[in-house]
A = this chain, B = another copy of it.
Amino acid sequence: MPVGTQGSVKALSPRDLEEIGCQMILANTYHLYLRPGVEVIRDLGGLHRFMGWNGPILTDSGGYQVFSLGALRKITEEGARFQSHLDGSSHLLTPEKVVQIQEDLDSDISMVLDECIPHPSSREYVKASTARTVRWAERSLKARKKSAQALFGIIQGGMYEDLRAECARELTPIPFDGFAVGGLGVGEGEAALNSIGAFTAGLLPENRPRYLMGVGRPEDLIFAVRCGYDLFDCVLPTRNARTGTLFTSRGKINIKRAEFSTDPRPVDESCDCYCCRHFSRAYLRHLYQAGEILAAQLHTIHNVHFYHRLMDKFRQLIRENRAGEELDTVL
């Protein structure tokens, strides 16, 4: 599931997404709240109609972007106060307001406001922040008016297993429609990501979707699926595409490299995306070097297709009870 920060999946049209077989897209509440504004989207019939996307949409809570603002934001029990990165205007996001915004956007899955705790943070800070995230989650569910829109709770707790467990113990009895794990993929390194990711997955109910937020590389997804996660989002496939880094079944390549300047092969000989069916590495490198917009489009089609085919193959293996097989088999 790619990230559509500004109301589009960067460089892709809805029909590109449909062709690839995207099942759901993510839209960033923070960005849409500031521009074009929630009222605009609501009055135009909601986010699906606004974006021309008929499939499911997940909206985040805006928390991740707000907490990334650093000095421009201040957290209190009430919510998160921040200054717009666009015009410096002052805003307050409360758990209740974040639910209301997402209801106005009319997404299919909404997320509670949480604090994405920076890494590293002291145990004391993580404990206090996580307790507040739990209180915010309770307020969020009370604020919900649209029962047809799913609302997911978010497990925090930093890199402390006992705080993750405490958070899950408090949140999982609440009737959220799914549970997400936040605060990973924030620079903690692969070992901590895997160990806390696996530990926290084991704390979540099996009968509701488990969503690992902001992760990640193909190898991270493979690990996480084996832990039991069902849902992911990450900028990696689209952002890498725009800088010329392309995923293949034999590892990443960077199309900028001179070795590709006369290479007649597609990016990945085992890929059947629009880009690989029609264009050579030599052509893609040329488009990239010439700064052509088409490079971003074709590269993004390929990378998003790659992620989706990886998940397709994995689903097939799971159906065949072979999900534990070697990475090489999966890729």
Contacts A7-B287, A287-B6; A50 near B282 (Cβ below 8 A)? yes
Interface residues of A in 33-75 (CB under 8 A from B): 35-36, 40, 43-45, 50-52
Task: Out of B10, B261, B285, B290, name the residue touching A293 (CB < 8 Å).
Answer: B10
A203 interface residue per 8 A CB criterion? no
Interface residues of A in 256-293 (CB under 8 A from B): 261-262, 264, 274, 278-280, 282-283, 285-287, 289-293
User: Once the chains are docked, how many angstroms separate the CA of A279 from the CA of B44?
Assistant: 11
Expressed in whole angstroms, the Cα–Cα distance for A301 and B40 within the complex equals 25
Residue contact A293 to B292, C-beta cutoff 8 Å: no
This protein's copies in its complex: 2
A13 within 8 A of B: yes
Q: Mark A1-38, 1 if CB is under 8 A from B, else 0.
A: 00000111011111100000000000000010001100
- In the bound complex, do residue B36 and residue A279 qualify as a contact, i.e. CB atoms below 8 Å apart? no
A11 touches B287 (CB 8 A): no
The chain B residue with its CB closest to the CB of A294 is: B8
Q: Which chain B residues lie closer than 8 Å to A262 at the CB level?
A: 40, 43-44
Give the distance in Å from the alpha carbon of A245 to the alpha carbon of B289 in the complex: 27
Closest chain B residue, CB of each to CB of A52: B278
Whether, in the assembled complex, A297 has its beta carbon less than 8 Å from a beta carbon of chain B, the answer is: yes
CB-CB under 8 A from A31, the residues of chain B are: 290
Chain B nearest CB, measured from A257 CB (Å): 14
With an 8 A cutoff between CB atoms, is A101 at the interface?
Answer: no
Q: Is there a chain B Cβ closer than 8 Å to A111's Cβ?
A: no
Find A286's partner among B7, B45, B282, B298 (CB 8 Å cutoff).
B7
Q: Given A278-B52, A283-B52, are A11 and B44 neighbors across the interface (CB < 8 Å)?
A: no
Q: Please name the 7 residue pairs, one residue from A and one from B, whose CB atoms are nearest each other, closest first.
A: A6-B290, A52-B278, A11-B293, A8-B294, A36-B286, A8-B292, A52-B279
A-B contacts, 24 listed (Cβ < 8 Å):
A6-B290, A7-B283, A7-B286, A7-B287, A7-B292, A8-B287, A8-B294, A11-B293, A11-B294, A12-B294, A15-B274, A35-B289, A36-B261, A36-B282, A36-B285, A36-B286, A40-B282, A43-B262, A44-B262, A44-B282, A50-B282, A50-B286, A52-B279, A297-B297
**A interface list, Cβ under 8 A from B:** 6-8, 10-15, 31, 35-36, 40, 43-45, 50-52, 261-262, 264, 274, 278-280, 282-283, 285-287, 289-294, 296-298
